[in-house]
Each structure stands twice: as structure tokens, then as C-alpha cells.
Amino acid sequence: MPLFAKGRSFLRNVFSSRRVDEDLDGEVRAHLELLTEEKLRAGVPRAEAERAARMELGRVEQVTEQVRDQRLGNWLQSVLSDCRYGIRQLRKNPAFTSVAVLALALGVGFSSIVFSIFYNGILHPFPYRDAERIKVITVVSDEDPHWRRSGYRLDEVFALRKGNHTFEDVAGTTSWDVLYTKQGVNEPIHGVVVTPNFMDFWGVRPLLGRGFIDNRPRTIIGVMPPRFFLFGADFYTTIAWNRPEPTEEDAMANNLPFFFFASGMLKKGVAPATANADLLAIALNLVPLHKEDKAFPEKFHMETPGFAEAIVGDFTKTMYLLIGSVALLLFISSSNVASLLLVHTSSRVKEIALRSALGASRARLVRQLFVESVILGVIGCVAGVLLAFLGLRTLTIVPGIEVPGEADLGLNWAVVLFAVAISFLTTLLFGLSPAIFAVGRDLRTNLQSAGVNASTAHRGTKVRGALVVAQVAISLILLVFAGLMIHSFVAITHFDPGIKTANMFVAETHLPGHQYDSTESKRAFFSQVLTRISAVPGVLHATTSLGFPVLWGPGSQDVTIPGKAHDKKWRTSFEAVDENYFATLGLPLLRGGGLSSSDVIAAHRVAVVNNTFAQQYFPNDDPIGHSVKLNVLDEIPSTPHDAYFEIVGIVADCRNWGFDRPTAPEVFIPYTFSGFGDRNILVRTVANAGALTHPARQIFNDVDSNAIINRPDTLDSMLESHTFMRPRFRVFSFSACAGIGLGLSLIGLFGVMAYSVTLQTQEFGIRMALGALTGDILALVLRKGLLLVGGGIVLGLGASFFAVRVVKSQLWGVSEFDLRVLLLAPLALLAAGLLACYLPARRATKVDPLVALRYE
């Protein structure tokens, strides 16, 4: 069985190579004895016989080497010995090895983490089938790009689904909050109503279970997998396509699902423009059906943003920036590895020269270097992947990390592979450089120069110097980014929106059925509830509103002011409040009077305007005494039409569109103008506003067990998730990038300086022997370091002027050319850089001239 014999030989050669070698040695020795004996028998004297036998045999080592060379598994055998040699080399230089492994691990680990977040959070964030083809069907006004609508009546969704030629399917979803009765107390739970094609559309299958919800019992027929957080719902229920379509008012009063969020699965290969045109044709047919509810602007077009884009929004840009920063970081870490390997190279030129003088072939040497680089690369990359894995786990507990709730954040192996490949290639490339530098060059030159370590070393040093300059420059860019993000974060968190946001409890409420449709019933309910909440210890004021102060109000609405002529439409936000509103917010009255309790009880047609309203529409005259009409009220059947409110006072401004937009003009009217709609409550407390949830819920339950408090929260925590979270994430992520980048660059700088000091040991010795002082040597070394750092800073500042334009959109309240940042970042870098140079410089001053000169 030749194959069997081969296998056995292979295994024996690889695994008991020592026995095989001993056997061979024995055989060759026996051969020599046999030869000698042969000669003796022929009558040759012993001494002569032994000499002749040895002549005939040749050199024993050569014979055995030739046998070994063509043995089965010889290749593997020598690679294994290369590995052993390589590992020994790495262990012999623990400093080099650990720094190189650390550099590789940090580079691979950190970039993998960010690349993973990027991929899973942005490029492919959702666990749904063909997520990239899921589009949000949106109506956009031609005149006002902020006028966007993705919510449709169910019959509209059906029309879109049936009429289009560009989508595989269109599904509707809407959130639907219902009461869950547990032990006699009502609690709202958040549900999602979906069209029957929902499961197929999203490609998600439920798990199973049973139960009851709501006062109409419903059977739970399925449990969705935990990863399926579509619209953050507690339960899903479906609705028939052909239900009799209710009016919007009916739907609101009876808590029927009404506006559905329409998403479409685009057919493969259809251009967005084609789909938009297709949808527009259908939408134009729907316009006549919606004369009374103004569901479509006069002129509009359709847009189909991706589902990811619609949910993640402007966060995409942050992630793209971050990915850019990480690519820079990967460059810094790779160049550190390169730099380390270059030093390693010059110290090995002599060894390589010696080995090739002893007969090692070029291929053999290259293979040895290759194996060493591979070992280094493997250890570094494995450590890096481990770091990435652990890092991504801890990342979920870092405060301020915000990625879309739907996204699945795991380590992405494709991107890990990418980072590993880059680092690995760098390691191989620069690990093999000794082969390029040393092998094949004149042996004598190498043997000589390696002793004096002059010219060859200097060639590597130039390359390393250039790498350090680039590293410093890139670090500076990262520092500037981080600085801008920090400054921006400080600006946004210290911004004064016009009121104190701390100690403010906020909640949505929902009153059941038609029972509270009338103005009087609603007022009776809220005055009772708010009076009782005000009596809770620690509560200062309680009020009710339509929107949430600072963050959200009923938007910009047409306003008519009699006696004022204007070409453009005048717009204002408005708020329907009670007499305690301004006191609760702490908004000072600037002029005139506020809203009195009698205004509220009797529903007087009076209004208070904010300062912006007064400035904008009454620049030259006094608004008090004028009247305003909110045109939007004319469009709602149950609100008073043609109602003019007399302006009685002006209050100070506070933000009403969020932090990003300037304060809009705003009109405050008594909320008793109509019994329309759900309302919010706002409560100012002495401290710990969040603790009010339970007492407030209890009071609501006592007044009417069907009245519920929804999404109780504090204003600060709403601000946190709406306004501060993303800047906080930016501060964290960009600072991490800058910190790691700076650390890696300093390691690089330190390495180069330390090595150049080593190279110049003799020079320093001579200088000191000739009378140079410690300070002279220190200055000499520091000047060299300063040149590298300074070069990097100049280069980095230049690059920063272009780079900051990219981060402009991510900043709030600071210019991208923020002087403080552009000054402090280089200074910090300079200080850190000098420190990194100081340690090697100190060592240079400790050179003993006698010892240094003896090196020659």
C-alpha cells in the first residue's frame, strides 16, 4: 500500500523527527565503518583506510542534510522550525512584541467596534427581510419642505397598495394604545395595529402564547421574537383592509386606529424617481376624496426615503464621520506597527547577513521573516478581535450611546475581517522589509554596517520620521473633532431655552369615549385633577397644555391679524392652557395681563402672545388690544370657527420647536375654547419630578378609573433623549477616537525618539567628551522631537481647516472654526509630544562618554 506507507512516513517524519534523524545518523556511521572495514580487508593500513573511507563518504552533515531535504513533510518540518524560531525571536524582544501586539490589537479592536456599529446601525440596521428595499411612502409639499406626511387613512393605504406598479407590497402600521386592566387598575399599553399582509411584508414570524387584553377581550395568538421591536410596541393586532372607514373625529373619540404609517417594498431594480411618479398618480386620485380634511397640500410630490433613513435620520452623518475618524485611527495604528517593524528590521540586518553568509537561501530567509510576521500578525489580530468583542459588550452600558432601537448591535465579522486584513497586510509588508533591505545586498556591507548601525538604520529612520509627522497631523484632526464635539455639547447642555427644565413632570393623558367631549366636562375633570395634584407635597404648580414646552407645540399655523396687511402668510404656533401655565413654566409676563381663572372658566376670547410674536408682527405698535384669529381652528369641525382672540398680555420667550430652531411666534389662549382632543399635564415640583408618576396616576384613577396617564416622564429626561443624547454620543465616540489616536501617536513618537537616541549614543558620547553640557544634549534631542511634532501640527492644522467643514452639521452653538479648540488642541498635542520626547532625551543625557565610545 504505497499510499499507506507514505502517510506513515509523513507522520513519522513530522512527529518523531528526532528518532528518524538518529536512525539516519546511525545508518551513515555504520556505512562509514563498513567502508573502513572494506579497505582494511583489501590490506590498506588502518589510518589510511579510515581517511579513504571518510573521503568516499563525503561530509556526514551534507549527506544527512540531503536525505532530510527530500523527506516527506520536510516543508512542514522546516516551517514548524521557522515558527519555533520566530516565537523565540519574539520572546527574546518582549518590549517590541508587546508594543507591536498592543498596537495591532488597539487598531483592529477599536476600528472593528466602530465599523460594526456603523454597519449594523446604518448600512444594515434592521432585522427585517430586504430591509434596504423598504421605503416610507411620504407626501411632501412643494412649497414647504417641512410639510411631510407618511400617515394615511386605511382606505388610502389600500388604494396605494392596489394601484401601484412599482412596489411588491404596501403595508400599513399604526400605534394604538389601549388599557390593560390588572387588579382593578388601568394601565395603558402600547400596541401596533397592522394590515393583514404585515407578517409577510416584514418577513418576521411570531412565537406562540395565549392571554387576554383590553375590555374587549382579545386572544393573544402569537409572541413576536424579542428582536422584533417594530415601533416599540407591547402587542400587535391586525385590522381588515375593508373596515368601514370612520371619520377622524370618530376615530379619536373612540380610540380607533386611523392614520397608518405606509411602507412599501420596492420592486427590485426600480428607480426611486419611477416609484415616486407612480405613487403621485395614485395620490392625485385621492385628493378629491379629502376636500374637507386637508390631507394633501395644494401642490405636492411624493418621496420614498428608506426605512432606515427615515428612522435613523441625521444620525447617519455622525456615523459616516465616525467611520472616517476610525479609518484615520487605523492608519495611525498601522503606521505604528510599520514603524516598530522598521526598527526591528535594522536591528536584524546583521543577523540576516550572517545567516545568508552561512548559506541560507534568499527564499529560506524570506520565508523565515514571513513566518515571523504572520505569527506577530495572528497574535495581534486575535487580541484585537477579542478586544472588539469585549468592547462592544461594554459599549451597551456606556451612557449616551444611542443607536436606533431597531438595530441589532453585534460584532460584524465582515468588518472585523476588513480591519484584520488591513493590519495583517501592514504587518506582512513591513515585516518583510528586512528581506527587501538586507537580503540580496552586499553581504560585506551589511556585516560591517550592522556593527556600526549607521546608514541602514538612518534610512529606516527617515521613513519612520515621516510616519510620525503624519500620525501627529492625524491626531490633531481627531483632537479638533473631539474638541468641537465637546464644546458643542457644553454649549447645548448649558443653553438656556427660556425656562428651567429641571423638576418638571410631564405626561400625556387620555380621557375615555365621548364623556369628556364638552368644554365644561373636560374643564371640570382637569381642574379637579390639577387641584389635587397641586396638593401633593413638593408640588409647586400644575397645569395642562397641548404640547410640551421647549420641545414641541402645534407647529406653525396660519394666523390672521385684522388691520395688518402683509404679502406672505403669517404663521404662529399656539398653545391652549389654563391660568397656571405661565407660573408652572416660570415664564415672566413682560407687559399687560396673563390669563385669569375667570378667563379660563368663562372661555373668554383672550390671548397672551410671546415676545417673538410681538416683535415680529408688531414691530412699531403695541399688540395689546389687537385681535388674532387662528385659521387652523376653522378647519376643525368641533372648534369655534371665525374666532378672534384679543391680545391682553406679552410673555417672555421660551423655545417651542426644540433647540435646533429659533423660538417661533406663539399665541396662548384659554384651553376652554373647545373640548377638542387629548391634553398633557405639566407639574412643577420642588425636586424629584419623576416620583410624581405614582401619585398622579392614583389621582387620575380616583377621579375616573378610565382616565389614564400616558408616557409619564420629566422634561429633563425628554430633553435628554431628544436633544442631548446624540451630542453626548458624539462627545464619547469622537473623544475615544482622539484619545486612542493621541495615545498611539505618542507611542509612535516615543519609539522614534528613543531609537534615534540609541543610534546617536556615540555621537552624544563624543559631544560630552568634548565638553557638551547636559542641557545641550537635552536641547539637541528635544529640538529633533519638536521638529517632528511641529511638522505634524502644521500639517494637521492645515488639514483641519478643510476637515472641520465636514463636521459643521454636527455642531450646535459653536463655529466649526472655534478658536478655543483650534488653539487648545495643538497646544495639548505639543505638550504631550514634548513629554514623549523628554524621556528619551533624559536618557541621552545619562550617556557615559566612556561607555559610549567603547562601542566603536
Partner 1 sequence: MATGEPTTLLQGTLDLLILKSLATGEMHGLGVSRRIEQITGGTFVVKPGSLFPALHRMEEEGWISSFWGDSENNRRAKYYRLTKPGRRQLEAETKRWSRISLAIARVLEAS
9 contacts partner 1 (rule: CB under 8 A): yes
Judged by beta carbon, residue 2 or residue 244, the one nearer partner 1 is 2
Residue 25 CB, shortest distance to partner 1, in Å, is 11
Judged by beta carbon, residue 31 or residue 355, the one nearer partner 1 is 31
Contact 674, 640 (CB under 8 A): yes
Residue 71 CB, shortest distance to partner 1, in Å, is 7
Residue 93 CB, shortest distance to partner 1, in Å, is 38
From 14, 21, 28, 272, residue interacting with partner 1 (rule: CB under 8 A): 28
CB-side neighbour CA atoms (13 Å) of 517 = 11
Segment interacting with partner 1 (CB under 8 A) among 30-38, 156-164, 248-256, 311-319: 30-38
Residue 23 CB, shortest distance to partner 1, in Å, is 8
Segment interacting with partner 1 (CB under 8 A) among 28-36, 354-362, 554-562, 748-756: 28-36
Name the H helices within 396-454. 413-431, 433-437, 443-452
The beta-strand segments (E) located in 625-693 are: 627-630, 644-651, 666-670, 680-685
Judged by beta carbon, residue 40 or residue 289, the one nearer partner 1 is 40
The beta-strand segments (E) located in 470-592 are: 504-510, 539-545, 557-560, 571-577, 589-592
Three-class DSSP category at 126: coil
Query: What grid cell was written down for 289?
Result: 376624496
Judged by beta carbon, residue 70 or residue 183, the one nearer partner 1 is 70
Residue 53 CB, shortest distance to partner 1, in Å, is 10
Residue 66 CB, shortest distance to partner 1, in Å, is 5
Alpha carbon distance, N-terminus to C-terminus of the chain: 64
Q: What residues between 689 and 748 interact with partner 1 by CB under 8 A? A: none
Judged by beta carbon, residue 39 or residue 350, the one nearer partner 1 is 39
Alpha carbon 502 to chain centroid, angstroms: 28
| C-alpha dihedral (777, 781, 783, 788), degrees to nearest 10 | 180
Judged by beta carbon, residue 25 or residue 234, the one nearer partner 1 is 25
11 contacts partner 1 (rule: CB under 8 A): no
Size of the site for partner 1 (CB under 8 A): 32
Helical packing angle, 362-395 and 315-357, nearest 10°: 150
Nearest partner of 232 among 360, 56, 404, 81, judged by Cα: 404
Residue 85 CB, shortest distance to partner 1, in Å, is 25
> Percentage helix, strand, coil, to 5, in the chain?
55, 15, 30
Q: What residues between 818 and 837 interact with partner 1 by CB under 8 A? A: none
CB-side neighbour CA atoms (13 Å) of 112 = 32
Judged by beta carbon, residue 66 or residue 774, the one nearer partner 1 is 66
Judged by beta carbon, residue 21 or residue 177, the one nearer partner 1 is 21
Residue type, 713: D
Judged by beta carbon, residue 28 or residue 223, the one nearer partner 1 is 28
- Run of H or E including 442: none
Residue 378 CB, shortest distance to partner 1, in Å, is 32
From 17, 21, 31, 652, residue interacting with partner 1 (rule: CB under 8 A): 31
User: What is the distance between the alpha carbons of residues 488 and 735, in angstroms, rounded to a whole number?
Assistant: 13
Residue 77 CB, shortest distance to partner 1, in Å, is 13
Judged by beta carbon, residue 24 or residue 374, the one nearer partner 1 is 24
Segment interacting with partner 1 (CB under 8 A) among 23-31, 376-384, 635-643, 792-800: 23-31
CB-side neighbour CA atoms (13 Å) of 560 = 11
Residue 74 CB, shortest distance to partner 1, in Å, is 11
Segment interacting with partner 1 (CB under 8 A) among 33-41, 571-579, 581-589, 738-746: 33-41
Three-class DSSP category at 606: strand
Segment interacting with partner 1 (CB under 8 A) among 3-11, 139-147, 460-468, 484-492: 3-11
User: What is the distance between the alpha carbons of residues 799 and 457, in angstroms, rounded to a whole number?
Assistant: 31
Judged by beta carbon, residue 30 or residue 686, the one nearer partner 1 is 30
Contact 749, 472 (CB under 8 A): yes
Sign of CA dihedral 95, 101, 104, 109: negative
Judged by beta carbon, residue 69 or residue 567, the one nearer partner 1 is 69
User: What is the distance between the alpha carbons of residues 305 and 187, in angstroms, rounded to a whole number?
Assistant: 35
Residue 20 CB, shortest distance to partner 1, in Å, is 9
Q: What residues between 64 and 123 interact with partner 1 by CB under 8 A? A: 64, 66-67, 69-72
Residue 22 CB, shortest distance to partner 1, in Å, is 12
Contact 53, 32 (CB under 8 A): yes
Q: What residues between 35 and 64 interact with partner 1 by CB under 8 A? A: 35, 37-38, 56-58, 62-64
User: What is the distance between the alpha carbons of residues 166 and 169, in angstroms, rounded to a whole number?
Assistant: 9
Determine phi and psi for 558, rounding to 5 degrees.
Answer: -60, 135
Segment interacting with partner 1 (CB under 8 A) among 18-26, 358-366, 570-578, 649-657: 18-26
18 contacts partner 1 (rule: CB under 8 A): no
Judged by beta carbon, residue 29 or residue 711, the one nearer partner 1 is 29
Residue 24 CB, shortest distance to partner 1, in Å, is 8
Contact 760, 752 (CB under 8 A): no
- Give CA angle at 701 (697, 704), nearest 5°: 135
CA distances from residue 138 to 295, 302, 306, 319, 723 in whole angstroms, order as listed: 12, 6, 11, 25, 25
From 19, 22, 25, 27, residue interacting with partner 1 (rule: CB under 8 A): 27
Residue 82 CB, shortest distance to partner 1, in Å, is 22
Judged by beta carbon, residue 23 or residue 702, the one nearer partner 1 is 23
Judged by beta carbon, residue 1 or residue 770, the one nearer partner 1 is 1
Residue 47 CB, shortest distance to partner 1, in Å, is 20
List of residues 6+ apart from 639 with CB closer than 8 A: 633, 673, 674, 676
Residue 41 CB, shortest distance to partner 1, in Å, is 9
Judged by beta carbon, residue 42 or residue 687, the one nearer partner 1 is 42
User: What is the distance between the alpha carbons of residues 170 and 197, in angstroms, rounded to a whole number?
Assistant: 8
Contact 649, 224 (CB under 8 A): no
From 15, 19, 25, 34, residue interacting with partner 1 (rule: CB under 8 A): 34
Contact footprint for partner 1 (CB under 8 A): 1-6, 9-10, 23-24, 26-28, 30-31, 33-35, 37-38, 56-58, 62-64, 66-67, 69-72
